[in-house]
Amino acid sequence: MSLISANKKNKTNDFALGQKNITMVQAITDALDVMLERDERVMLLGEDIGKNGGVFRATDGLQKKYGEDRVVDTPLSEAGIIGTGVGLAVNGMRPVLEIQFLGFIYPAFEQIATHVTRMRMRTRGELTVPMVIRAPYGAGVRAPEIHSDSTEAYFTHMPGIKVICPSSPYDAKGLLISAMEDPDPVLFMESMRLYRSGKEEVPEGYYKEEIGKGKKVKEGKDVTVITWGAMVKTAKEAADSMENRDIECDVIDVRTLYPLDQDIIADSVQKTGRVVIVHEAHETGGVGNDILSVINKQAFMYLKAPIEKVTGFDVPVPMFSLEDHYLPSAARIQTAIHKVYSF
Amino acid sequence: MSLISANKKNKTNDFALGQKNITMVQAITDALDVMLERDERVMLLGEDIGKNGGVFRATDGLQKKYGEDRVVDTPLSEAGIIGTGVGLAVNGMRPVLEIQFLGFIYPAFEQIATHVTRMRMRTRGELTVPMVIRAPYGAGVRAPEIHSDSTEAYFTHMPGIKVICPSSPYDAKGLLISAMEDPDPVLFMESMRLYRSGKEEVPEGYYKEEIGKGKKVKEGKDVTVITWGAMVKTAKEAADSMENRDIECDVIDVRTLYPLDQDIIADSVQKTGRVVIVHEAHETGGVGNDILSVINKQAFMYLKAPIEKVTGFDVPVPMFSLEDHYLPSAARIQTAIHKVYSF
Amino acid sequence: MNFPLVRCIKEDGNMVDPSLKEKISEELVKKFYFHMKRIRAFDRSAKNLQRQGRLGTYAMYEGQEAAQVGSALALDTMDWMLPTYRDHGALLTHGAEMMRVLLYWNGRMEGSFHPGKRIFPPAVPIATQLPHAVGTAWAEVRKGTNNACLVYFGDGATSEGDFHEGLNFASVLKSPVVFFNQNNGYAISVPVYKQMNSESIVQKSVAYGIPGIRVDGNDIVAVYFETQKALERAKKGEGPTLIEAVTQRFGAHTTADDPSKYRDQEEVERQREHVDPIRRLERFMHKHGFENETWIKETEKAIETEIQEAIMEMENFPKAEIEDIFDHVFEIMPRSIVEQKNEYMEWIRGEKV
Amino acid sequence: MNFPLVRCIKEDGNMVDPSLKEKISEELVKKFYFHMKRIRAFDRSAKNLQRQGRLGTYAMYEGQEAAQVGSALALDTMDWMLPTYRDHGALLTHGAEMMRVLLYWNGRMEGSFHPGKRIFPPAVPIATQLPHAVGTAWAEVRKGTNNACLVYFGDGATSEGDFHEGLNFASVLKSPVVFFNQNNGYAISVPVYKQMNSESIVQKSVAYGIPGIRVDGNDIVAVYFETQKALERAKKGEGPTLIEAVTQRFGAHTTADDPSKYRDQEEVERQREHVDPIRRLERFMHKHGFENETWIKETEKAIETEIQEAIMEMENFPKAEIEDIFDHVFEIMPRSIVEQKNEYMEWIRGEKV
Ligand SMILES: Cc1ncc(C[n+]2csc(CCOP(=O)(O)OP(=O)(O)O)c2C)c(N)n1
Ligand SMILES: Cc1ncc(C[n+]2csc(CCOP(=O)(O)OP(=O)(O)O)c2C)c(N)n1
Ligand SMILES: [Mg+2]
Ligand SMILES: [Mg+2]
């Protein structure tokens, strides 16, 4: 577990007072709560986030606590939410915008691609958009169509926005707080599968995890497995089971998809020379290929085998009767680890 | 120059009657004209495409010739254009939709990501969307902001749509006709820089170029240069000049960005072992990384040097006073060729 | 703005204008009644199946039967229907196979379309289907047919850009579309008054210079006749109409939703007495000599049998085939998908051994 | 729908309601006149510069001066302005540096913002600025100030989803925004009657339950007072207003456009006699004792000097720095950009040796 970075910049109640054992969705609520408390400029906007507390209850109780002015049920309009957020952010607020599912962010695509990400550039920093867009993503929870998209690559290709995808309650809270204090826009992806899939000790109060830094979740010398979000658990499971066959894996949770932590990737690949990249997005154009590019640049001479990718296919995420086949499984990852190991 | 593929499937007037020496934008008008003539189902929709003939005159004269019912000036609404196109296509028409600049396609992103590309899948082919979206793209013509985007990678990552980007009048016409006869949606990217930058002999009448096939524009044994669209000319220029230093390049115009022609890439890389990829889109998440992935899979063992990329940077396309620095230049490509050659 | 609520049958079952009775044949009343009962029974069964884990998340429409059946019955077979995820009541009325509707909610691709029927797959992203309707209807005009399009959407959907772009396109193109809004009071948890500042949805028709009709969505007679008129206008080349059917969603947004978080469900149950569209029709039938106990009993039984058979069919439907993931993205599979498919299918076969 | 065209000064310069004259001080008239003359002179100079290759593609606004100046003058310094690419007349009136406006059209990033002024960079993607205005104005409410927002957009912009979503949000949030539409008859080549089926733009206010005003956009007095009223309403917490200013674009869409392809430019020139907003004000001044030849001459000279100086400043402005491409994407440059920058800057230096 990472150390608490006791950032005490703004207020005094920075010290972790204790720990609590909570799920990822609770950790997210907690981060929002901490920041609403610390910083008056923070406002939450979204569909059903107020009275209803969000369709996943990520904002449960917050409207009651902070009022309808700060935790706002908006009309059903993603371009409206993000566009209004741009105005709020430019004019001094710190909007956190919930997009109900990542698959419904597309109506706001123009706002993100042409304004959220370009305002600083266009005004040389005179006007900026410190905004967090939160969006549940991913397959595996038997959700209806479109709800299961994992389309982070649209945003990593968009200059001017950071993309974060935590895999644990601890990281989720620390990274969300960092995102909310970041001077630039952040897309914060939350795995629906992980929302309630396990608890972890999380410090109370304020702490930050550094954006742009990956994390080793398992140490090994033979094969590097690189992934993020919901796939961390699956990859770890696969890597653990490879120990039976005497294959030791380095498992890296990159946590931030843009900017990527090139060092953690390069260091590991220089050690192992064998790589498996795992993600649930479509293979073509996926962030896996950015990782490939990092490796090509930083560790080409160390590679002992072609890099393997275990990813979603180049097909729309299927309806739930077949989604388990779409999603990378531990078994598929094992096959890939074995393949690069025995190349 | 490729041979004419005399596809005679639908009608009789298939044979090229002669040649004419025309620019790329004229070749595009010609393709639209040929298809409006051959196929009653073809309709053109877009902003300013009727009376005005399009802001680049790509549809010049077509409304007069085919009527306001078939060449339609729409309201200023890209989601409306694409969404209406979905209905037209599902119900038997063959809509060709002009998006005035690729940078203004974003309002229609949701329509493309959730309907254009998924209709066949969702209905197992019962309802389909044979639609062509035409969009001028790219920097280098001193256009205002947003107009210069080269964001093809958003679409290559989207399962269910093909992405084409021709680099010559001949290819433009043949590929556009193929796109218009394709049973599935196609995004057809037209380089503004190339619209009027040179003429070429183009057959009159109907002919097709195959989608998904790249083309060698220069043959060489030392280094493979892979690119498309406006960059083909620049890359060729760089490659030509390397002959002075006795470096012979294979220059590949992939022409289709999804699906990529894996064979032409693999064959060349297996021969040269050294690769430079050139594109004007941002590096991170660019189609260059998909090519990297193809090479990793098909030619890993043949690589003699890390792959070099000469691309747009991870920044918004700057306003025109600086756009030439953003765009890959022949000189930068030469440096890269030299680097991989002398690795 | 003057958009009075059009109503034919009052809550107590009496007619607003008794002279309309001539136009209401026994056959028509039976149709109304049969379809409303049928889709309500279906809805309740589906909800139960979900509870038993035999369906996935399911979206109920109880309370909206008059709006869905009344509008759907106004369509001809060759007219198109573009539904949302909550309009399978209308779908069933327009001829969709019940078994397929069940498949849809069971996460099966085979359930999102209805071979041979002019029905779009349900639009999941809100309001995106409105522009589709414009194009679909326009294609009919280009073909020179006399068919129109009916597109459903909710009160929440009016906030999306696609609602606006769709209505604007249709009005400019004089596309034969009926925009049928079911104002059921809520978008998930958000009440209409937070969704918009306008007093009605129908007044948004003014923005497009098209006719707007506000109808009591729990009065199937009014819904039916108003939709019919709008369709006639469309078919005569007079362009689109916006209909707002004011109705109510009795239950949760979907089986994944807990309405007690944002409204008083007991209050909803109390209101049901006044607003339930089936009870209203029953009162009308009772007061106007259309009551027929035997027929009702038979009908109920037939419906029950149909539903049970559909459930059996759904449950006996061949298992989803993995290949389906790959096979329908393009007409001709590009190499990248071919390779992904082959690799995966080989791996699966290996695994299974 | 009753949205009469509000007019204070008739085409012949006479007043519609002479009693209004009390409210029109000489100072105000001079302001109107000065700013309209100033921005017209600017516009023409910029067009000429473009012809001479000293600017890039440029968007003219000639004909729309009353709409832009009248509305801009109604703003307080602390009110926000959100312009499109055609509203630099309004920008200049709200205090933007002329030199920067020229820089913008010369492809210089330094021209898209105005330090210290509450002005957004021009929105290039149509209608996207409307939601920004809602948020910007709402932030003022949250801060407890008394400032409002004025956002410009064209007739074509009303077809985009963002127009609709912006107005809906503003109406629900009661955000202090004035939505100022310049209906100049065309979106590039597309005339308003192909853009929409409604008879006016103002009637779209009905969809949001907000006040709508249709004003003669060539009558600066009417524009000024109506904008002022709308701003007052906004500041009193009464929410947004939609203003449609009916005006005309005399020239091409931009210097890259050829209007003869889609309209009769001679006809436009003939109409100018009636509609030119500056001539109208001149007639008013003439008839109401505001004429002052000496002042006009001085003013014209001052404007000419200012413009020439701004052009010189623009042309002497330090050359664009390559580093600017990289330096302003994030506050702290991530490694990928650092590396791209270093590599490129090294390469450029090497090249240049
Ligand atoms: C673009 C988009 N955003 C958000 C959602 C999530 N969502 C599903 S249904 C719904 C509410 C829709 O309300 P309404 O239009 O009134 O229809 P109803 O559910 O009442 O039938 C929301 C927000 C979605 N499906 N699509
Ligand atoms: C989203 C988007 N689509 C298309 C364009 C291209 N375009 C630039 S100006 C324009 C017409 C705008 O017309 P209107 O809103 O009436 O404003 P005007 O130019 O008349 O001031 C178009 C289509 C754009 N800038 N943005
Ligand atoms: Mg609703
Ligand atoms: Mg206009």
Q: What secondary structure does DSSP assign to B254-298, as a single string?
A: --EEES--HHHHHHHHHHH--EEEEEEEESTT-HHHHHHHHHHHH
Closest to C163 measured CA to CA, from D132, A54, B110, A113: B110
Residue A248 burial (CB < 10 Å; 0-12/13-18/19+)? middle
pLDDT digits (tens, 9 = 90+) for A61-83: 999 999 999 999 999 999 999 99
Q: Does the pLDDT at position B4 exceed 80?
A: no
Q: Return the axis-axis angle of helices C277-287 and C220-235, rounded to nearest 10°.
A: 100
Q: What is the pLDDT of residue D1?
A: 62
Q: What is the pLDDT of residue B223?
A: 98
pLDDT digits (tens, 9 = 90+) for D283-316: 999 999 999 999 999 999 999 999 999 999 999 9
Q: Does the pLDDT at position A16 exceed 60?
A: no
Q: Does the pLDDT at position B71 exceed 90?
A: yes
Show residues of chain A in contact with C261, CB under 8 Å: 51-53
Residue with tokens 């997009």: A99
Helix (H, G, I), strand (E, B) or coil at A217: strand
Interface contact A293-B296, CB threshold 8 A: no
In whole angstroms, what is the distance from residue D129 CA to residue C148 CA?
36
pLDDT digits (tens, 9 = 90+) for A38-60: 999 999 999 999 999 999 999 99
Q: What is the pLDDT of residue C2?
A: 82
In chain C, which residues have pLDDT < 70? 1, 351-353
Optimal mutation site among B66, B76, B91, interface C, most CBs of chain C within 10 A:
B91
Higher pLDDT, D37 or D352: D37
DSSP, res C84: B
Query: Which among C113, C133, C161 has the least Cβ separation from residue B127?
Result: C113
Ligand 1 proximity of C192 Cβ (cutoff 6 Å): no
Element of type H or E holding D45: helix D26-51
Give C193's contacts (C-beta < 8 A, 6+ positions apart).
none
Ligand 2 proximity of D184 Cβ (cutoff 6 Å): yes
Query: Which among D112, D120, D329 has the least Cβ separation from residue A159?
Result: D329
Reported ipTM:
0.97
Place B15 in a pLDDT band, splitting at 50, 70 and 90: low
In whole angstroms, what is the distance from residue B145 CA to residue C234 CA?
42
Of the bound ligands, which one is closest to the alpha carbon of residue B145?
2
Interchain CB contact of B285 with A (< 8 Å): yes
Q: Look up residue B332 and give its two tokens.
A: 């930068």
Closest to B111 measured CA to CA, from C169, C239, A326, C71: C169
Interchain CB contact of A88 with D (< 8 Å): yes
Average pLDDT over residues D326-350: 96
pLDDT digits (tens, 9 = 90+) for B21-59: 999 999 999 999 999 999 999 999 999 999 999 999 999
Closest to B215 measured CA to CA, from B273, B187, B256: B256
Q: What is the pLDDT of residue C159?
A: 98
CA neighbours closer than 13 Å in the CB half-sphere of residue A311: 28
Interface contact D161-C161, CB threshold 8 A: yes
Ligand 2 proximity of D207 Cβ (cutoff 6 Å): no
In whole angstroms, what is the distance from residue D106 CA to residue D100 CA?
9
DSSP, res D120: P
Helix (H, G, I), strand (E, B) or coil at D344: helix
- Taking the centre of ligand 4 as the mean of its atom positions, its distance from the CA of residue D124, in whole angstroms, is 14
In whole angstroms, what is the distance from residue D246 CA to residue D185 CA?
8
Chain B nearest-CA distance from C130, in A, is 8
Give C190's contacts (C-beta < 8 A, 6+ positions apart).
A47, A48, A73, A75, A76, C156
Q: Look up residue D208 and give its two tokens.
A: 């949001």
Pairing assessment for the beta strands A308-312 and D5-6 based on DSSP bridges: unpaired
Answer for the pair A326, A209: CB distance below 8 angstroms, yes or no.
no
- Taking the centre of ligand 4 as the mean of its atom positions, its distance from the CA of residue B32, in whole angstroms, is 28
Task: List residues of D with catalytic annotation.
Answer: 249, 253, 262
- The closest residue, in CA terms, to atom 20 on ligand 1 is C187
Average pLDDT over residues A122-145: 97
Show residues of chain A in contact with C336, CB under 8 Å: 283-284, 314
Place B5 in a pLDDT band, splitting at 50, 70 and 90: very low
pLDDT digits (tens, 9 = 90+) for D71-105: 999 999 999 999 999 999 999 999 999 999 999 99
- In chain A, the domains with their CATH numbers are 17-203 (3.40.50.970), 215-341 (3.40.50.920)
- The closest residue, in CA terms, to atom 26 on ligand 2 is D125
Average pLDDT over residues A249-264: 98
Answer for the pair D147, D78: CB distance below 8 angstroms, yes or no.
yes
Q: What is the pLDDT of residue C64?
A: 98
Average pLDDT over residues A21-37: 98
Ligand 2 proximity of D86 Cβ (cutoff 6 Å): yes
Q: Look up residue B124 and give its two tokens.
A: 């197992």
In whole angstroms, what is the distance from residue A32 CA to residue A37 CA?
8
Residue D71 φ then ψ, to 5°: -75, -40
Ligand 2 proximity of D131 Cβ (cutoff 6 Å): no
Q: What is the CA radius of gyration of chain D?
A: 21
Closest to B94 measured CA to CA, from B25, B180, B213, B27: B180
Q: What is the pTM of this model?
A: 0.97
In whole angstroms, what is the distance from residue C347 CA to residue C352 CA?
8
Q: What is the pLDDT of residue D91?
A: 98
Interface contact B107-D125, CB threshold 8 A: yes
Q: Does the pLDDT at position A327 exceed 60?
A: yes
Residue A54, Cα to own-chain centre: how many angstroms? 18
Of the bound ligands, which one is closest to the alpha carbon of residue B105?
2
Helix (H, G, I), strand (E, B) or coil at C186: strand
CA neighbours closer than 13 Å in the CB half-sphere of residue D187: 28
Average pLDDT over residues A279-294: 98
- Taking the centre of ligand 4 as the mean of its atom positions, its distance from the CA of residue D155, in whole angstroms, is 5
Place B290 in a pLDDT band, splitting at 50, 70 and 90: very high
Closest to A128 measured CA to CA, from B321, D78, D332: D332
Higher pLDDT, A10 or C340: C340
Query: Which among C137, C168, C328 has the least Cβ separation from residue B77?
Result: C168
Closest to B220 measured CA to CA, from B189, B251, B257, B194: B251
Q: Look up residue A264 and give its two tokens.
A: 């953690």
* Touching D: B residues 213-252, CB under 8 Å: none
Q: What is the pLDDT of residue B10?
A: 46
Nearest atom in ligand 2 to the alpha carbon of residue D183 is 16
Ligand 2 proximity of D123 Cβ (cutoff 6 Å): no
pLDDT digits (tens, 9 = 90+) for D142-199: 999 999 999 999 999 999 999 999 999 999 999 999 999 999 999 999 999 999 999 9
In whole angstroms, what is the distance from residue A287 CA to residue A306 CA?
17
Nearest atom in ligand 2 to the alpha carbon of residue D155 is 16
- Taking the centre of ligand 2 as the mean of its atom positions, its distance from the CA of residue D86, in whole angstroms, is 10
Q: What is the pLDDT of residue B16?
A: 52
Average pLDDT over residues B177-200: 98
Answer for the pair B176, B31: CB distance below 8 angstroms, yes or no.
yes
Q: Return the axis-axis angle of helices D220-235 and D277-287, rounded to nearest 10°.
A: 100
Answer for the pair D91, D305: CB distance below 8 angstroms, yes or no.
no
Q: Is A338 one of the catalytic residues?
A: no
Please calculate the CA angle C240-C244-C250 and round it to the nearest 5 degrees: 145
Q: Could you tell me the end-to-end alpha-carbon distance of chain D, in angstroms, rounded to an integer?
A: 71
Q: What is the pLDDT of residue D2?
A: 82
Ranges assigned E (strand) in chain A = 19-22, 42-46, 71-73, 94-98, 132-137, 162-164, 186-191, 200-203, 215-218, 223-227, 249-253, 256-258, 275-282, 308-312
In whole angstroms, what is the distance from residue D242 CA to residue D228 CA?
13
Interface contact D195-C207, CB threshold 8 A: no
Please calculate the CA angle A40-A41-A47 and round it to the nearest 5 degrees: 105
Partner chains of B (3+ C-beta pairs under 8 Å):
A, C, D
Residue from A147, A157, A282, A338 carrying the catalytic annotation: A147
Q: Look up residue B220 and give its two tokens.
A: 């060489």
- The closest residue, in CA terms, to atom 21 on ligand 1 is C154
* Touching D: C residues 192-251, CB under 8 Å: 194-199, 203-204, 206-210, 239
Ligand 1 pocket test target in C188, C192, C249 with most atoms within 8 Å of CB? C188
Chain D nearest-CA distance from B2, in A, is 35
Q: How many residues does chain B have?
A: 343
In whole angstroms, what is the distance from residue A188 CA to residue D90 CA?
38
Closest to B191 measured CA to CA, from B132, B161, B148, B131: B148
3-state SS of chain C: helix, strand, coil percent to 5?
55, 10, 35
In whole angstroms, what is the distance from residue C23 CA to residue A166 CA?
63
Average pLDDT over residues A142-161: 97
Element of type H or E holding C149: strand C149-154
In whole angstroms, what is the distance from residue D149 CA to residue D137 CA?
6
Give C207's contacts (C-beta < 8 A, 6+ positions apart).
C164, C167, C168, D198, D203, D204, D206, D207
Give D22's contacts (C-beta < 8 A, 6+ positions apart).
none
Q: How many residues does chain A have?
A: 343
DSSP, res D17: S
Summary mean pLDDT of chain B:
95
In whole angstroms, what is the distance from residue B213 CA to residue B60 CA?
29
Q: What is the pLDDT of residue A274?
A: 98
Q: Does the pLDDT at position D353 exceed 70?
A: no
Q: How many residues does chain C have?
A: 353
Chain C nearest-CA distance from A315, in A, is 6
